Amino acid sequence: MAGADAAQLAQEAPADAARERLVGGIFAFSAYFLWGFLPLYFILLAPISGWELVGWRILLSLVFCIFLLTVMRAWRPFLAIVRQPRLLGWTALAGAVIYVNWQVFILATLSGHVIETSLGYFINPIATVLLGVLVLRERLRLTQWVAIAIAGVAVIVTIVGYGTVPWVALTLAASFSIYGLIKKRIGPSVDAVSGLTLESAWLTPLAIVLLVVTSLTSGLTVGAYGVWHAVLVSLAGAATAVPLLLFAAGARRVPLTVVGLLQFIAPIMQFITGAWILGEPMPPERWVGFALVWVALAVLTVDSLVFARRSRGVSDVAEYS
């Protein structure tokens, strides 16, 4: 009887693991899918300014996170984090970096540069790998260096062909890769909801300044353009927090290689939004730059898949022996 129970448990374990991976994949896909729609959502908020929108985004994210902490009864682990100065410092730094990312992304989106924001998130995986070398002293494989070199050529082609440095793309790639590095340093010590709550709390004084300055200059748009516009703005907190929480839930359940493949969903959707829905220009030099970035990403992705497969093979052999 005991042998039968053990056999049943052995059969159920792989099924549970597969179910967890499936659920995690759905969570991660949903996160990147929602991030892909953000430009269209922000454009619907016109004529709101980028500064006002970021101010509301910070404050409403804080409100939404406080609501989640209350519903999930997660105040105790949150307060435990607050009592650790080291973690508070890291969340403050994460808040500063994500503010730069949010502000640049929103200003670029509202000013007709959605395609360049997509370029930034296409470059982001390569920037993350490069950051690992510069900060974490990681050693890269030859194919990873090739991918970085191709991406560098892509940036040079864009500068020469377009006559300007793609500051939006480079800032987004740098800020989000640094944000990811900070999250890696914090590790499991700070959960997704507590982390976003603290980041939003650190940024709240800045958000208030942004809203006050906007009200004294161009004037706040909330309440001035009807109920529908006010409702859409009020959803900014949920639009910020929900994808982050879905991503956190998915990343815990699926291999890093799966997350690496899914992360291209958002910039692909942003590229389609900018090029075909909004009709932003795509001159030949921009196509060449994007094509080189896509080649670099293909090299990086194939290298990651091959390396993951080899690592699994070594692990399986070691376990068997």
What is the per-residue pLDDT across 243-253, written as a single tens digit (0 to 9) for each?
878 887 777 67
Sequence spans of domains, the chain:
23-311
Which of 35, 37, 27, 38 is CA-nearest to residue 258?
27
Distance CA 201, CA 207 (A): 10
Distance CA 181, CA 94 (A): 9
Torsion, Cα 40 174 305 151, to 10 degrees, reads: 90
Distance CA 109, CA 273 (A): 11
User: From the CA atom positions of the chain, what is the Rg in Å?
Assistant: 22
Which pLDDT does position 302 carry in this prediction?
A: 81
Q: Do residues 290 and 284 touch, judged by C-beta distance below 8 A?
A: no
pTM: 0.83
Which pLDDT does position 95 carry in this prediction?
A: 93
Q: Does the pLDDT at position 23 exceed 70?
A: yes
Which pLDDT does position 13 carry in this prediction?
A: 58
Which pLDDT does position 1 carry in this prediction?
A: 53
Angle at 286 between CA 281 and CA 287, to 5 degrees: 100
State the helix-helix crossing angle for 236-251 and 192-216, rounded to 10 degrees. Answer: 160
Q: Does the pLDDT at position 304 exceed 70?
A: yes
What is the per-residue pLDDT across 131-140, written as a single tens digit (0 to 9) for each?
877 777 777 7
AA identity, residue 165: V
